[in-house]
Amino acid sequence: MTGAFPDFTLNDKNLDQHKEKILKQIQENKQKINKLLKQDKKTYSNFVKPYQLMHVKLSFLFSPLSNLNYVKNSPKTQEIYSSLLPVLTEYYTQLGQDERIYRVFKEIYKNEKDYLNQEQKKVLQDTIRDFELSGVSLSPENREKVKNINIKLSQLQNLFAQNILNHTDRYEMVIEDTEDLKEIPQTELEKAKIVKNGKTVYRFTLHQPSYITFMTYCPNREKREQLYKAYVTRAPENEKVLEEILSLRYEKARLLGFNNYAELSLATKMAHSPQQVIDFLKNLAEKSKPQAEQEYSQLNSFAKKLGLEGDLQAYDFAYYSEKMKKEMFEFNDEDFRPYFEKNRVIRGLFGFLNRLFKLDFEEIDVPVWHPSVSVYHIYRKGKLIGRIYLDLESREGKRDGAWMDEWVVHHEDEKGRIINPVAFIVANFSPSSKDIPSLLRPYDVETLFHEMGHALHHLLSEVKEPFVSGISGVEWDAVEFPSQFLEKFAYEPSVLKTFAYHYKTDQPLPDEMIKKLKNSKNFLSALSMLRQIEFSLFDILIHLDKYRAEDVQKILDEVRKEVSVIKPPPYNKFQWSFSHIFAGGYAAGYYSYKWAEVLSADAYFMFVDNGIYNDEIAESFYSNILSRGGSMPAGELFRRFAGREPDINALLKLSGIKTGG
């Protein structure tokens, strides 16, 4: 331990021992519950508070294991993680179905609701609702069914993710012909270079950023399609896995009294019904499609001018859009990368947060799982409030993508002490080498800002009750609000000027390039909007009934027909690797990105229109949004901050989508 914080000392060698700690904690929790239930007079302080804290203890032990499985995946982490999943799922399901605890929570709410504070009331309301969604009022037989479904689902979702990772790790495309590589940036080419049978060749994989680099810069269309096909047909065994997941979700929803899984999913979200979500998405699609069709037509004509035969296909998009962006804005992602050295970007982000929210960051030296990980303590007005781990570089055995995960939640313990929070931010930026540091693309900078927004929501909480602190208790379709809000400042000129310096010459990013970056932000934005709507609509629709794999494909085809402008080839099996909904928490909730973006766009304009560093607005955002966690409904917190309902037009305006209205 360093001060009040735990250190990360988990590795392959002590995983067995750590597993035993987790199993022991589960047993202790079970004994604790029996002890709590034997009390004569049960109150919030002697029952609900200790009930929350025993969950905190278990999460404290499991989170680092989960993190290690994602960032340093090995046969050992897979074995331990997979063996614990069913045990944990069974434990949480049994808890969620324990009528005795449910009755106590209801009794305490009835007796004490007039005396409890807002946080405590929200804990009781949310927990009573979650008990009911766990099947507490079902017959013993149906409760058992729900429990078994939950266990099976956790295993299948883990299998879905592992299948993708295994296929991604296995595949490689080795290029010998340098003609196919002539447009690939030198820094990326160096990273792809390997020696095979005494000959220098270039290896590309399905991992980010290798895949994106190849698709963006390889002039050989056949090779692009080859890599694209490998990417969109990864993990064919997931066809059966996703069918089973959908079947079990539907069965669980029906057992719990819902018509379908979409309704069950929305029971804990801001949106009230599947139809409301569908209407929201179709409204956005309708307003965005005319501009998207123009964007496609423009890109298609541009590609044909450069010699493309036939119409532009999905595997041509990154290549020609990069070229068109370069011509329109004299813009090339690679031109910016020397100005976005990872550590300097981090310092710039911290400096921005210092001006905006009065936060200070101090790098500390503590144990980490990989040498490229950096760790910081966060202070506000001289007070230590949290710790954050940044693991930002791509490597083998690390799951693709970027995310924030929590280790310790801000809360008050049984002795009245405030426990400070700890978070992880993980990404897959270009790795540093002996000669070249990690250099970020503009999109990577945006991603870092985005994940930091999630981390702030977790780390800046002032809520004392763990079940509604940080991102806990926040409706899923509002949880992206702070992250999307923060990412919008990544391209602000005044922010860029604090960190965009050439890593070799130390020269600042020229004003002309900053202008290009800002102007190009909404390049092909309507096409991008439709892509997200396609995923979101597909997700909600496949959860409206009990669908088989062939139905899923039909629904995807129909959604693409209605929404998409760039039609993927028939072999595209995007659903096989849609891990957000089949392995993450976004099932019947992928629309949340767009839903929350209405909130974030609206908030962003409040800052921009009144001067970014407006202390009054920043303090209101801090106190009403970032520090309140899930202690109140998100809609109410937004109204407290903005003084009104959110405006959908803010999102269209931010995306540069003109609706003619």
Query: Residue 365 CA to chain centroid, in angstroms?
Result: 27
CA distance 13 to 504: 40
Supply the pLDDT for residue 489: 95
Residues labelled catalytic:
451
Which CATH architecture best describes the domain 337-512?
Answer: Orthogonal Bundle (1.10)
Instruction: For residue 466, give the DSSP letter.
Output: G
Task: Go through the chain and tell me how many residues it has.
Answer: 661
Whether the link from the prior residue into 421 is cis, omega within 30° of 0, is: no
Residue 62: the pLDDT is 97
Split at pLDDT 50, 70, 90, the class of 661 is very low
Tokens of 617: 């607005």
- Model confidence at 227, in pLDDT bands (50, 70, 90)? very high
Summarised one tens digit per residue, pLDDT across range 282-328 is: 999 999 999 999 999 999 999 999 999 999 999 999 999 999 998 99
The residues with which 375 forms a beta bridge, in sequence order, are: 364, 389
Question: Is the predicted pLDDT of residue 361 greater than 70, yes or no?
Answer: yes
d(CA 1, CA 131): 35
Residue 660 pLDDT exceeds 80 = no
- Kind and range of the H or E run holding 293: helix 274-305
> Between the CA of residue 533 and those of 85, 106, 123, 521, 650, what are the distances in Å?
32, 40, 33, 19, 17
The mean predicted confidence, pLDDT, of the chain is: 94
Name the least confident of 280-284, 504-508, 517-521. 517-521
Condensed to tens digits (0 to 9), the pLDDT of residues 458-504 reads 999 999 999 999 999 999 889 999 999 999 999 999 999 999 999 99
Superfamily the domain 261-327+523-654 falls into: Neurolysin, domain 3 (1.10.1370.10)
Q: Do domains 261-327+523-654 and 337-512 have the same CATH topology?
A: yes
Residue 1: per-residue pLDDT: 35
The structure tokens listed for 523 are 């390049």
Q: What angle do CA 347, 352, 353 make, to 5 degrees?
A: 95
Calculate what percentage of the chain has a pLDDT beyond 90. 89
Residue ranges per structural domain of the chain:
12-165+237-255, 173-231, 261-327+523-654, 337-512
Residue 53 · residue 414 · CB < 8 Å: yes
**CA 353 – CA 267 distance, rounded (Å):** 34
